[in-house]
Amino acid sequence: MAIEVGTKLQGKVTGITHFGAFVELSEGVTGLVHISEIADNYVKDVNDHLKLGDVVTVKVINVDKDGKIGLSIKQSVDKPVDARPARPARPPRPGDGRRDDRGGRGFRGSPNKPSFEDKVSRFLKDSEERISSLRKNTEGKRGGRGARRD
């Protein structure tokens, strides 16, 4: 029987390392289950999940040209298609400017919120005031640009 990518097989754990476990498949062929393919959760130590001699179901995830076989235990387990519960829709808050139908952009010119252009012009005005204040205070000190020399 040829080993093909995507097939599920039974195998016996023949070796455990810090990076994974070696599993002997049919006909004496051995493949590696990388530590990241052992379980869905974080695996700190392979020995916490597998023991020598354990019989496991694995899925073939790749076969290299040089004969190395990559296996996965976590992909061999059939999971439900939609295991995650649907996220409930957030109710609209009053005055947030969102449309109830599709959540798109709200209307412009809300009396409570300044428009983007108003915010940008206020920022530029404040920025210019701060820069001019800095220039006044630093030009006279330390011989900054354009400072008078007496």
Q: How far apart are CA 90 and CA 54, in angstroms?
A: 47
DSSP 124: H
pTM of the prediction? Answer: 0.52
- 69 in helix, strand or coil? strand
* Residues written for the chain: 150
**pLDDT tens column, 97-118:** 555 455 555 555 556 788 899 9
Average pLDDT score, the chain? 81
Residue 16 pLDDT more than 80?
A: yes
CATH of 8-72, one of 3.40.190.10, 2.40.50.140, 2.170.16.10, 1.10.10.10: 2.40.50.140
The pLDDT assigned to 88 comes to 74
Q: What is the DSSP string of 80-107?
A: -TT-SPPPPPPPPPTTS---TTT-----
The pLDDT assigned to 26 comes to 84
The pLDDT assigned to 54 comes to 92
Q: How far apart are CA 96 and CA 108, in angstroms?
A: 12
What average pLDDT does the segment 44-64 reach?
A: 93
The pLDDT assigned to 52 comes to 94
Confidence band (pLDDT; 50, 70, 90) for 87?
confident
Residue 89 pLDDT more than 80?
A: no
> Residue 103: left (phi > 0), alpha (psi -120 to 50), or beta?
left
Percentage, residues of the chain above pLDDT 90: 47
Q: List Cα–Cα distances, 46 to 27, 58, 74, in angstroms.
A: 25, 15, 13
Lowest-confidence region among 10-14, 25-29, 44-48, 70-74? 25-29
Structure tokens at 22: 């070696």
